[in-house]
Amino acid sequence: MEKSLVLIKPDAMQRGLAGEIVTRLERKGLKIIAMKMLQMDKSLAQRHYAIHKGKAFFDRLVDFITSSPTIAIVFQGKDAVGVIRRTMGETDPVKAQAGTIRGDFGLDIEHNLVHGSDSAENASKEIELFFSTEEIIDYHKDINKWIG
Chain contacts with Mg ion (rule: CB under 5 A)? 118
CB of 33 to ligand IDP, least distance (A): 21
Task: Give the interface segment with ligand IDP, choosing from 24-32, 107-115, 119-127, 136-144 (CB under 6 A).
Answer: 107-115
Phi and psi based region of residue 31 (left: phi greater than 0; alpha: psi -120 to 50; beta: remaining): beta
CB of 58 to ligand IDP, least distance (A): 8
CB of 145 to Mg ion, least distance (A): 32
| 56-64: long-range contacts, CB 8 A cutoff, minimum separation 24 | 57/110, 60/110, 61/110, 64/9, 64/10, 64/11, 64/110, 64/111
Catalytic residue among 48, 111, 115, 140: 115
Q: Would you count residue 82 as binding ligand IDP (CB under 6 A)?
A: no
CB of 110 to ligand IDP, least distance (A): 5
- Which of these, 148, 6, 13, lies nearest to 70 by C-alpha position? 13
Q: Would you count residue 95 as binding ligand IDP (CB under 6 A)?
A: no
- Distances from the Cα of 73 to the Cαs of 25, 38, 85, in angstroms? 11, 11, 14
Active-site residue, 111 included: no
- β-bridge mates for residue 116, sequence order: 6
Residue pair 68/79 in contact (Cβ under 8 Å)? The answer is no
| Spatial distance between the Cα atoms of 140 and 136, rounded to a whole number of angstroms | 13
Q: Would you count residue 110 as binding ligand IDP (CB under 6 A)?
A: yes
Q: Which one of residues 57, 63, 128, 141 is an interface residue with ligand IDP (CB under 6 A)?
A: 57
Residue in the shown chain whose Cβ atom is closest to Mg ion: 118
Q: Which one of residues 3, 24, 48, 115 is an interface residue with ligand IDP (CB under 6 A)?
A: 115
Residues carrying an active site annotation: 115
